[in-house]
Amino acid sequence: MKHKAQVQLETHTVEDTQQFGQTLGKWVQQNGEPLCIALIGDLGTGKTHLSQGIAKGFGVTEEITSPTFAIMNTYDVNRTHLYHFDVYRLSEAEEIYEVGYEDYLNSGGIILIEWADIIKSELPKEYIEIKLFYHEDETREVELRYVGNPAKEKEMLKYVDFSN
Ligand SMILES: Nc1ncnc2c1ncn2[C@@H]1O[C@H](COP(=O)(O)OP(=O)(O)O)[C@@H](O)[C@H]1O
Ligand SMILES: [Mg+2]
C-alpha cells in the first residue's frame, strides 16, 4: 500500500484492498456507533472485495458475496448486524425505501452500500465515504472521508494510518 495525499492511498493487490477494509472494519466495530459506509466507484474497482475486508474486520465470519440481485444481504455479528447493499439496479434513489432502508438505518447495525452515489440524496447526515478509482492493472486509488464529522474523520484516518 502506498499512502498519498491525506485522504488517499493506493492498493496494488486484491489482498491490499481487503486488508485496508479489514482495518477500517475494525475501527467501525470499536467505534460503536450506528454507521453507514458509502462505497462509490465504477464496476470492477473493488467495492465487493473491499466490503469483504470491512465485514471481516467488523466480525463477520462467513465470506460475503455480492448482493447485486438480492439488493441487500444481512449478516449477524455478535449482537448486531451488517446490512450489505448493492443499489446498482435501482432506477431512482427513493426505491431504496422499498427494501426497508429506513428500518436498517435506525436498527443500530452497520450499513454498507455499493454504488452509494445512486442514493446520495438518501444517505444520512454522517457517513463514511470511500471512493475507488482504477489505475493500471491491479492498482486502485482509494479515497476515505467521514462526511459530516471532521473530528471523527481525523480519528478514523489516524487509525487506518492514512498519514504520509
Ligand atoms: N487492488 C485491487 N483491489 C481490488 N480489486 C482488484 C485490485 N486489483 C485487481 N482487482 C480485481 O478487480 C475486480 C474487483 O471486483 P469487485 O470487488 O467485484 O468490484 P466491484 O464490486 O467494484 O464491481 C476483481 O476481479 C479483482 O480481482
Ligand atoms: Mg460489487
Q: How many CB atoms lie within 10 A of CB 47?
A: 23
Per-residue pLDDT of the chain (164 residues; tens, 9 = 90+): 665 557 889 999 999 999 999 999 999 999 877 689 999 999 999 999 999 999 999 999 999 999 878 899 999 998 899 999 999 999 899 999 999 999 999 888 999 999 999 999 999 999 999 999 999 889 999 999 999 999 999 999 999 876 53
Cα–Cα distance, 1 to 6 (Å, whole number): 14
If one residue of 43, 49, 88, 141 were mutated to test the ligand 1 pocket, choosing by the most ligand atoms within 8 A of its CB, it would be: 49
CA angle 73, 66, 124 (to 5 degrees): 60
The CB of 49 under 6 Å from ligand 1? The reply is: yes
Taking the alpha carbons of 114, 115, 119, 124 in that order, is the dihedral positive or negative?
Answer: positive
Q: Which helix (H) or strand (E) holds 153?
A: helix 150-159
With 0.75 as the threshold, say if the pTM is over it: yes
* Atom of ligand 1 lying closest to residue 11 CA: 1
* Atom of ligand 1 lying closest to residue 114 CA: 21
